[in-house]
Amino acid sequence: MDASYDVAVPASLLIPIDLFGSKKHKNLPRGELGFVDSSGNPVFRVIRQSKSSSLSSSPPRHDTKLLLDAAGDSVFSIVRGRNGSWQIFKVDHGEKKELICNVQRTRKSLTRTELEVLVIGESCGVLGSSFKMKGFPFQKSCTIYQGDSIVAQTSLMHKLHQIYVRRGKFRVTIYPGSVDHAFIVTLVVIFLSSGK
Average pLDDT value over all residues in the chain: 80
For 68-152, where are the alpha helices, taking DSSP H only? none
**pLDDT value at position 54?**
47
Residue 126 has pLDDT above 50, yes or no: yes
**Contact (Cβ atoms closer than 8 angstroms) between residue 19 and residue 43:** yes
**Contact (Cβ atoms closer than 8 angstroms) between residue 184 and residue 178:** no
pLDDT digits (tens, 9 = 90+) for 135-194: 998 888 999 999 889 999 998 876 666 665 566 789 999 998 878 899 999 999 999 887
Between 53-57, 63-67, 158-162, 171-175, the lowest mean confidence (pLDDT) is in 53-57
**Closest C-alpha to 65, from 174, 169, 187, 195:** 187
Q: What distance in Å separates the CA atoms of residue 142 and residue 150, rounded to the nearest whole number?
A: 11
pTM: 0.81
Strand extents, DSSP E, 8-148: 17-22, 33-36, 42-48, 63-69, 74-80, 85-92, 95-108, 113-119, 130-136, 141-146
The CATH homologous superfamily to which domain 20-193 belongs is LURP1-related (2.40.160.200)
**pLDDT value at position 63?**
79
pLDDT digits (tens, 9 = 90+) for 35-49: 999 888 899 999 987
Boundaries of every domain in the chain: 20-193
Please give the share of the chain, as a percent, with pLDDT higher than 90: 34
Give me the mean pLDDT over the 7-31 stretch.
75
